[in-house]
Structure 1
Amino acid sequence: MNSSWFRKLLLSYLPVFFVVVTILFFVFFQSLNEQNRKEAIKANEFLTQQIVLFTDNSLKTLNYQVLRDTLTADELRFFFGSDNDDVYRNIQATELMDDWKMNNPIIDSVYIIRLKDNFVLGDGSGQAADFVDQPFIQTYINQKVTAGKWTGKRSFRPYAVEKPTDVITLVQGFPHFSTDKSGYIVVNVSLSKLKKSISPMYNPKLTYVRVTDEQGATLMSDSGADGENSVLSHYISPYTGWAVDSGPTGWGLAHVALHFYNIWVIIALVAVLLGVFWVVHVTRRNYKPISQLVSLIRTSALINPYKGQSGNNEFGFIQGALEQLLEETSKSMQQNQEAIILRKKHRFQEAVEGIVSIRESEWMADLLALQVNPVGAHAFVLAIEIDRYHQFIETYHRQDQSILKFVVSSVTGEMSGLRDATTWAEWITDRRLSAIIWVPDDADGEVLSGQIGEQIVQWVQSNLSFTVTIGVHGIASNLEEIRRSHEIAGNLLQYKAVLGTGRLLRPAQLEGSEQRVHDYFGTIHGLSQSIRIADGAWQKHIEDLFSQMQDSISSRKEIESFLQFLHQQLNRVFLELSKDYRSVWKDSGAELLELGRSWETLDELKQGCLRVFEEMASKLQALKDSQRTRAVISDIRTFIEENYHNPELSLDYLSDQFMIHAKNISKLFKEAYGYNFVDFLIGLRMDKAKQQLLTTERSLQEISTEVGYFNYNSFNRAFKNVAGVSPSDYRKQQTS
C-alpha cells in the first residue's frame, strides 16, 4: 500500500469528520435550547402561581372585609332596620361602602338592596323595580343561587344610560346566619382593574396570561394566547377555581427559540444520514481493489480461514489461514491429550476395581503404553480421602476444588519420587484418590509405604486448609494382589470415624477388636426407653453406646446401621404416645437424620446426638410439666367454684391449700383461662348473686353474706361494677 493510496483514503474520510463535528454542534445547540425551554417553563409556572396567589389574596381580603362588616357593622344593621326616609342611615351605609372602595381599588361598584321596601342604595340607587341589575339580584332573592361565592364574568351598569363593564360579583345576605334575609350586599370587582394590578408582574410583549373561570369562560386575556400549543404553565386556584395559563406571545424570538429544538433534531438526523451515505459510498469505492486481490488469493488457497465465522476479513485472509492451521493443530493435540487422560483413568479403574478381566501380560503392556514405568516388581496401594468433604465443596468453587485435587495428586507423586518410587494415581470418586506406588526391588516396601503415607498426610495438613486420611496396604507383586490391596486400603477408610481423620490407617490397627451386636441392641433399647420417659439415664446409655462402638472399632457403615436402628426404635416408641410427644419426636428425628448425613468422626456424631437428645428431653420434660400444671389449675378452679362463698378466699389462701406460690397461681390461671383469679372470683360471685336475687326473697344483706361479702357496701359496689346497676335495681328490673 503506497503513500498515494494513503492520501486518497485520508481525503475520502474527511467529509465524515466534518459531519461528525457538525452533529456535535447541533447536539450542543439542541441541549442549550432544551435547557432554555425548561427555564422558561419554570418561570411561567412561578408567574401563574404568583398571579393566582395575588388574585386569591385580593378577593379573600375583600370577602373578609364585607363579611366582617356584615356581621359587626352598625351601619348595615341600622340601614336594613330603617326605611328610605331615614337619610342619616343611608349616609352612614354609603360611607361604609365608600370605605370598602377606598381600601380595595379593584372594586368597580357596590350597592345594597333592602327587601322590605325594595330600596337600592349605592351605585344605581333607587327602587328595585327600576334597577338595571334587578334580574341578577332577583336570583339570590329567590334563593336560586347561593350567596357568599364569587360569580363568573358578567356585565354591569348602574344606570341604563351608562356603558356596561365586565365584573365579577360577590353577594352577601343580611343577616348572614339567617335564612330570612332582610337584604343583600352586592360588590362588583372590575376585571380590568384586576388585570392592571397583575400586569406589573410580567412583560406582555414576551408573555401572555389567560384567566378562565370554572366554566371555561375567559375572564382576562392578553394578545398572543393562541391555544394549548402556546401554554407552558397551567395552574388552578384552590379558592376561586379559576385556571391561569401562561406562555410566550405570538411568534417572537422567545417563542421560536422554545420550539426550534425539533428543527435541531431533524437537522442532526439529516446530517447522520448523509454521513452514513458518504461512508458507505467511500467504503465501496476503496473496497474494490482489495476485493480483486483477495479473489486471486482464494482461487489458489487450499484452506478456508473463515470456517465457522459470520463474516470475512479480507485483510486478514492469510493470517486467518495460518491461525486456522495452528488452531486445528492445537485442538487435535488437546483432544489427543484429553483422550489419553480419560483412557488412562478408565483403564486404572478397570485394573484396580476388577471391572474386567485383565491378564498380567496385558497389564504390563498397558503400563508401557500409558508411559508408566515401574521401578520394581513390588507395589503398594494408597487410598487417599479428603476429610469433611461436604465442608470442602461448600468452601471452594468447583474450579478451586479441581486445583486442590491436582495439588494432592501432584504431592503424592512428588513424595513417592523422593523415595525413587513410581506412582500412578487417579481420582476414582469425587473425594477419593487411589495410587499404585511401585518401589525399588532393594527397598523395604512396608517401611516405605508408611513413610510416604505419613509425609503426604503431614504436607497436606501443613500447607492446605483441609486434611486427608490415607489407607495403605501392600506389598503386591501382581495385578490380582494390587486389586486386593486396593480393596483393603479403601475399606480401611471406613474406620476413620473411630480411629480419627488426618492420619495413616493400617490393617494392624484393627486387630484385637471384637464386636458384640447384642450389646448394641440392648443399649439402644435402653436409650429409647430413657428418652421416652425423659429421665437422666439416657445420657449414660449414649455414653455406653459410643464407648461400645469405639472399643469395637466399628466402621462407618456399621455406625450408620446402628444409627438407623436407633431412629427406627425411637419411632416405634413415640408412635405409642400422644400427638404432642410425636410432634416433639418429629422435629428431633429430622435433626437426627440430618446429623446422620453430615457427621465425619464418631466424636462429632456423639456431640450431635447429645445435643439433639438434650433438646428433645428438655421439650418432653416441659410437656410433662405443662400437663401436670394444667391438672393443678383445673383442681384450683374446681376449689374456687365450690368455696366461692368463703370470704377468706384469696391467692394466699389458695397458696396455702395447694402449696404453690401465689404469684405462680395468678400467672398459671391467666395462661390457662385467659382471665385472672380476681376477675373470675368476682364474676362467679355476681352470677350466684343474680340467681338468688331472681329466685329467692332473701334480703340483700343475706345474699351478700351468702356469696362471700360480710360488708354489704363492698358487695353493692362489686355488683354495680359488673351489672351496671345496684342489686335492688337489678331485682326490680328483672321482676317488673
Structure 2
Amino acid sequence: MKTNWFNRLLLSYLPVFFIISLSLLLMTFLTLSEMSKKASVKANNAVSHNISKMIDSKLADIDSLFLYEIQNNEKIKQFFSDNPKDNRHYTDIQASSALKELLQNNPTIESIYLYRTPDRTILTRSTLTDLNDFADSQFIGLSLNSRVPYRWTARTLVPQNTDGGNARRVISLAKNTNLSNLSILIVNVRIESLLGWITSMTDNNSTFVHLSDEEGNLIVSTEATANGKTSNMGAGTVLSSSVSEQTGWIISSGTLNSGILEFVSSLFYVWMAIAAVIVIAGLTWIIYVSRRQYKPVMTLMNMISGARKASPTQLKTEKVDEFKFIESSIEELLDESNMLQEQHKELSVYHRRHLFLSLMEGTNSTANFGKYLEEELSRHGIHQPVSGSLVAIVEIDHYTEFAIQYRSDQHLLKYILGASMKELVENKPFTVWTEWISNSKMGILFLFHHQESEQEVLESCEKLRDWIALNLDFTVTIGIGHLIQQLELTAESFREAVSAVGYKSSLGMNRIITPKHMVSKPKGELFKQLQVFRSISQSFRLGDEKWEDYYEEMYQTLQDQLYTHDDLASLMQVLIGYLQKEMAELTEELNKVWIEDVQPSLLMALEQETQEEVYQAIHDILKDAYDRLNKLRENKSSHQLMHQVKMYIADNYCNPDLSLTHLSDEFQLNAKYLSRLFREAFGMKFVEYVSEVRMEKSIQMLLETEDTIQDIGRAVGYDQSLTFIRVFKKHAGETPGQYRKKYSSI
C-alpha cells in the first residue's frame, strides 16, 4: 500500500515541528540563562559581602594583636622608653628578638619595624638604622605627618640594601606606641596573603574578585598577573561590589566572560523576539497546511453521511469528531462482519455437538437416519464411509478437587485432553471425534472406515490415560463400550461406556474399564447388608468394640460385589439411617454429639469417589465418634457399674430368670434405679438389650448348627418355644425356621 498522503503530511509538518521546537528550546535556554544570571548576581553579592567581612576580620585580628603587643610586650615597651642612650644596647637587642618571634608566629606578615622619634632610630628584626638611611623612610614620614587616624594602606615596599630582593606589594598599618614622643610601629602584610584569603572563598574558573582602595586603585585581584596588573584575557562583567567598613576598600566580583554565551545573553530580548516570531509563523503554517489536508477527510465524511443518511450540516451542529465518525462507521461494518462469522462458528459448533449427542442418545429413529448421518459427517470433514463405531467415556477423577484447583484453567486442560487423544491416533486407521458431554466426562467416538480393531482403541486409550497420569496433576478413568457395526446404533456402545465408567467406585480409578470387567463381579444387593448394618449400629450404640469387626465384614462383602457410585452412596445412606435410629435412643448429651458433628461428616464422606475412599472416610469418622462417646460415658461414675452389668448379661443370657429383679439382687441396687442407669448408659431398656443379645446368639446358632428350634430357644433363655418364635419374628421379621431356610442356602 502506498503512503503518499502520509509522506505529504510528514513533509508538511516535520520541518515546522523542528523549527518551532528549536525556537522553544532557544527561548527556554535564554530564560534559564537570564534566571541563572540573576542568581549569579545574588551569589556574587553574597561573595563580595563575605570577602569584605573576612578581610575586615583578618586585619582586625592583626590590629588587635599588635595593640596587645604594644601594651603588654615589655621588650617592645623598653625600646620606646626614655632610657639613656648608653643603656639602650641591650633593650634594642631584646626588642629585635621580639620582632623575630612575632614574624615567626604570623606568616602573613611581611615585616615589622619600630621607629623611635627622639633619636630617629628604626629597629627591624635584623638591623638598627637611622631614619635617613632607611629605605622605607618616606612612608614613616608620611605616617608621622598624617592628620588622619592610622589605617591600612596598600603600597609598594622598597627593601633595604641589606635585605636584597625586589620591591613588593604590601598593605601597611602604623600604630602609635608612645604618644608623648610620637614613636610608631609599622606592620607590613604580604599582598599574597590577602589574595590567598580571597581565592579561598571563590572559584577562580568562573568568578573574579577585585580589591581596590577608596580612590579606585587596584590592590589585589584574582586575575592579577605577576606584576600586579589585571589581565584582559579573562575579563568579565562586574555583578556586585561591597565596601569594607574598617578599611573603606571596595570589593568587586563578577563572572568571567564565556564567549558566545555572554554575547547571546547580552541580546536576551532580541533573541526572544526572534524566537516568538518564528513560533507564530510556524503555527500559521500548520493552520494553513491542516486546512488543505482536511479536504480529503471532508470528502470522505460527505460520502459516509450520505450512506448513513446524515447531512454534513447535521454532523457539524452535533459536533461530531470526524475521525471518530469514520472510525465508528468502519467499526460497525467490521463488527457486523465479525458477528456474522461468530454466529456461523457458534452454529457450526452447536450443530456438531447436537449431532454427536444425537448419536450417543440414539434419539432419532427415522428410516433415513443412517444416510443423514453420512451427510452430516461429510459436512464436518469425515468423507470416508463408516464401517463401525465404538464409544469411550473419559471421566476426570476427583472432579470436585479438579474444579477447585483449576478454577480458571479448566477449559484449557479439557481442550488438552481432546487434542492429546487426536494426536495419539493421528496415524491410526480410524477417525476420532471428541465432545464434552458433562463437566467431568468427555465422550470419544471412534469411527472405523475399513478394518475394525478394538485392540488398537484399547491401546490408544491406555496411552492417553498413561500420558495424563505422567504429565498432569490429575488422573482419568476411561470406560469403553462394544464395537457397533451400524453407525445409527452407536447409542448402545455409549450406554455401555457410561455404565463401565460408573463402576469405577468398585473397580478403582485411573484405569480402563471394559464390559469384560463388569461381569467379573456380581452386582451388589442391598438386602444382604441389612443384617450387618443392624449389628454395626447396635454395637456402636452400646459402645461395643465389635462394631469394627462388623464394619470390616461389611467391607469385605462390598469388595466382592460391584456397585456404581450412586448405588454405593445409597447403601451407605441406609447404614447412616440405622446408626441415626440407634443413636436416638442415647441420652440427650450423647445424641447431641452425633447430630451436630458425626452425622454431617458421614454425609460429606459419601462424596468420595471410590469404594475404598468411602469406606476409610466413614470408618475414621465412626472411630473418632466412638472414642468421644466412650469418653463421655466414662466420665460418669456409673459407667463402670453398667459395664459390669453388661458383662454379666453376656455371660448369663441363657438364664430364663434373668431380669431386673435378679440383677438388683446380684448388684445390691434398686431395680428402678438400675433400669434408669442402664438406659442412660446404653440408650435402650434392659429388656430390649437382653432380647437383642439372645436374638444375636440364636441367629448364630440357626446358621451354624443343626439344633432344633426348641433347643436353640432354651439355649438362649426361653423355656417356651412359642415365646422364642414370637420374639424372634418381632426382631427379624420372620420365624426362626424361615430365617434358617432363607439364609442357610446363601
Structure having the higher Rg: 2
Q: TM-score, normalised by structure 1?
A: 0.46
Q: TM-score, normalised by structure 2?
A: 0.45
